[in-house]
A and B are shown apart, each in its own frame.
Chain A
Amino acid sequence: MPLSVRTTETLAEAAALLATERAARFLAGGTLLMRAVNEGDVSFSLLVRTRDPNFVRMRTAGGRIELGAGVTMARILAARELAFLHAPARAIGGPAVRSMATVGGNLFAEHPYGDFAAALLALDARVQLATGFGPREIPLEEFLRGRDRHPRALVSAVVFERPSDPAAFRFHKMTRTRPKGAAVLSIAAHLPLSGGRITGARVAYGAMGKTPIRARAVERALEGRPLSPEGIAPAVAVAAEGTDPPTDSLASAWYRRRVIGVVLRRLLLGEG
């Protein structure tokens, strides 16, 4: 069946089309969906795009950051004020992928992809959705949990608070090949210190479950502790708790569970 393409002026129109046309898929950067097109996937016959300027808008001044879902990794890397996000943005593909791949698309990237979404989870980001019934906003964690159950909503933007101290935000992606490769696993952590102790820790993992997940046990174990080898030991001990990593060609579930604590420890102690 030949594919057709519809380009809407607004996000709302695109969302309405997605809600009514079962055979429609939303096309942003194309680095995920166009792979399916090239493979001859016949489960969809309509590509929906939008020209809505809000879709590609970045608001980075002040404490609240809003990234339109169509913002590319390359644009994030070009934004000096988003330096704390450069490590996760650079973790996505090579330069040509980054010219195309979008913030919104990464939320739909299947295992082992989705490293940027893991970073957004650690920033406690919220997802703005355009639906056939109007806009709404939900926590990214909730969005990811239900991602495959309600595919008819259109992600229009993600919003989050800028870390008060950029050094409090850390990201590491473990790969088998360098500088580019799919994740064995990735970890993002927001670790604000108050009087030398961690307050409000948020830790997220990529490739440790079907979608990026929050590491709640690690967060609890870090609370009120200093970032020292002794301080973080309880968190490292529970690093694999709540994870359900898949086995794939990069690593087995067993290996991912074994190594997550090692990578977490290095990230927390700043050992790269």
Chain B
Amino acid sequence: MVTAVSFTLNGTAVAAVAEPAETLLSVLRHRLGDTSPKAGCLQGTCGACTVLLDGEPVLSCLLLADAAEGRRVETVRGLADGPTLHPLQEAFMDRFAAQCGFCTPGMIMAAKALLDRNPNPTREEVIEAISGNVCRCTGYLPIIEAILEAARRLAARR
């Protein structure tokens, strides 16, 4: 038996059918074609599947899809405005904060959750914000620098 689930994905109303115990990650990737959240450990340990649900970071691999019913889901795919990248994406490029790139979507969404709530974070707050996201190649320093840089660029725009 399948169930229907509908929510707002990056500002657009979407609907999909899902198995009863299907995760939000699976619905995003396999039913809606948004492959930007990654299926990493599927254990809540790596953070690669992090998306925002009503602005809060959640692990989409551990969340049943219907938990998103009627709510607002944001993935990294929705960040760029056409060809114009989000300041976080720009800063990740400029600061070489991505190498293989697999952790990047989760890192950026965890960082966005922080900057949306706290536009001027300290280094410690950045480290705390991405503490649930594992990177195995770039190293955390360029990622932390990129998030701090994005915060400065966002502040300069205001």
Contact = CB atoms under 8 A, between A and B. Distances in A.
Contacts of A29: 62
Interface SS of A by simple majority: mixed
Given A30-B62, A94-B47, A95-B129, 13 more contacts: A2-B21, A4-B20, A4-B21, A31-B62, A34-B23, A37-B21, A38-B61, A39-B42, A95-B132, A96-B58, A99-B53, A100-B63, A180-B131
A180 B43 CA distance: 16
B157 to A, nearest CB: 25
Contact of B131 (A35, A74, A95): A95
Nearest to B56: A99
B53 to A, nearest CB: 8
B116 interface: no
Counting chain A residues whose Cβ lies within 8 A of the other chain, the interface size class is 20 to 34
A195 interface: no
Of B21, B43, B56, B63, which is in contact with the most chain A CB atoms at under 10 Å from its CB?
B21
Interface residues of B, number: 30
17 contacts: A3-B20, A30-B62, A30-B63, A30-B64, A34-B63, A74-B56, A93-B132, A94-B130, A94-B132, A94-B133, A95-B57, A95-B110, A95-B128, A96-B57, A96-B59, A99-B57, A100-B59
A29 B127 CA distance: 24
B21 A31 contact: no
Interface string A1-19: 0111100000000000000
Interface of B: 1, 19-21, 23, 42-44, 47, 50, 53, 56-59, 61-64, 66, 110, 113-114, 127-133
Interface of A: 2-5, 27, 29-31, 34-35, 37-39, 47, 74, 93-97, 99-100, 179-180
Contacts of A5: 20-21, 64, 66
Contacts of A74: 56
A100 B113 CA distance: 15
Contacts of B110: 94-96
Contacts of B50: 96
Contacts of A47: 21, 64
Contacts of B127: 179
A93 B64 contact: no
A113 to B, nearest CB: 11
A31 B110 CA distance: 17
Given A4-B20, A180-B132, A97 B44 contact: yes
A164 B59 CA distance: 37
A38 B40 CA distance: 11
The 6 A-B residue pairs with the shortest CB-CB distance, nearest first, are A94-B132, A3-B21, A180-B131, A34-B62, A38-B42, A96-B57
A102 to B, nearest CB: 12
A69 to B, nearest CB: 17
Given A5-B64, A27-B64, A38-B61, A93 B21 contact: no
B32 to A, nearest CB: 19
A93 to B, nearest CB: 6
Of A34, A39, A96, which is in contact with the most chain B CB atoms at under 10 Å from its CB?
A96
Contacts of B21: 2-5, 37, 47
B59 A31 contact: yes
A4 B109 CA distance: 30
Contacts of A4: 1, 20-21
Contacts of B114: 95
Nearest to B128: A179
A34 B41 CA distance: 12
